[in-house]
């Protein structure tokens, strides 16, 4: 008998994926997690009924969350990933030789353990890199209490459902602002602006109260059904969003021009060119 799994994120439509094989279907300490194999998307992980990653297209999200802020900053030594227990963003962060320490703060150790087992190519050794520090903790509590300062903070969260909801509050963003080094960059997962407009609009309005530059950029991940994904952008250095392709290309070459499948210098710059309906969300 065929089994299909259903994404239930949106109120007025749902998407089903055929589960050719179910590898895991149970509760972790914090959320419902299911891992299946699918003919189009490869191995798929869903948390609380929402697709988090697939092996076929994970490179899009992970490259764009890591490389855009790190190459825009240009001198990041300390990076923090909040969430991101699959290890994909961490993997991309560690491709930057100037990064000396990369802290991964994940609330659910079960996600890390299951991803080590079922998605080893996503983390690709990142958990065990000498520069990596893994902290099992609530991300809001960690950034509220830490005395460390980070050059780039990347919030690789689930959607604002369940344990991920607190990562979309003004209180959390305020603590992130405090935990950034001068001129640091905060990047957040902010959903699909076509279907989750209020989520992006609210986050950027909070950024505007806290930072000199509040904006977003876009990338399209096929398994995030409903249009391009938005990444919130916040920093006190307005120049970091204005780099030209040649400058990003020089930084990429200096970093070793490591292989990428989605991010590239011209895509980096173009990601900030927003369609009118998205620009209206972040500018009003």
Name the burial class of residue 214, with classes exposed (0-12), middle (13-18) and buried (19+) by CB atoms within 10 angstroms of its CB.
buried
Give dist(CA 65, CA 83) in Å, integer.
Answer: 12
Active site residue 159: no
Give dist(CA 222, CA 101) in Å, integer.
Answer: 31
Q: 156, 159, 175, 239: which one is catalytic?
A: 156
Give dist(CA 155, CA 84) in Å, integer.
Answer: 8
Which tokens go with 69? 């802020």
Which residue numbers are catalytic? Answer: 156
């Amino acid at each position: 008998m065929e089994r299909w799994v259903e994404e239930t994120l949106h109120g007025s439509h749902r998407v089903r994926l055929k589960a050719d094989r179910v590898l895991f279907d149970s509760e972790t300490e914090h959320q419902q997690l299911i891992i299946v194999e699918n003919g189009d998307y490869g191995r798929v992980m869903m948390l609380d009924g929402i697709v988090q990653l697939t092996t076929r297209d994970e490179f899009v999200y992970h490259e764009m969350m890591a490389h855009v802020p790190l190459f825009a900053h240009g001198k990041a030594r300390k990076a923090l990933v909040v969430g991101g227990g699959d290890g994909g963003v961490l993997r991309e962060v560690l491709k930057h030789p100037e990064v000396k320490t990369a802290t991964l703060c994940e609330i659910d150790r079960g996600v890390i353990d299951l991803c080590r087992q079922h998605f080893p190519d996503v983390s690709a050794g990142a958990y065990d890199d000498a520069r990596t520090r893994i902290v099992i903790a609530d991300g809001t509590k960690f950034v509220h209490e830490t005395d460390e300062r980070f050059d780039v903070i990347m919030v690789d969260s689930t959607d604002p459902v369940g344990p991920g909801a607190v990562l979309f509050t003004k209180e959390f963003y305020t603590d992130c602002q405090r935990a950034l080094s001068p001129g640091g960059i905060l990047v957040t997962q902010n959903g699909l602006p076509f279907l989750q407009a209020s989520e992006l609009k609210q986050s950027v309005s909070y950024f505007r109260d806290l930072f000199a530059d509040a904006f977003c950029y876009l990338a399209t991940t096929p398994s995030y059904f409903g249009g391009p994904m938005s990444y919130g952008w916040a920093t006190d250095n307005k120049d970091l969003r204005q780099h030209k392709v040649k400058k990003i290309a020089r930084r990429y070459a200096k970093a070793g021009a490591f292989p990428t499948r989605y991010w590239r210098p011209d895509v980096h710059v173009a990601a900030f060119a927003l369609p009118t309906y998205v620009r209206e969300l972040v500018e009003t």
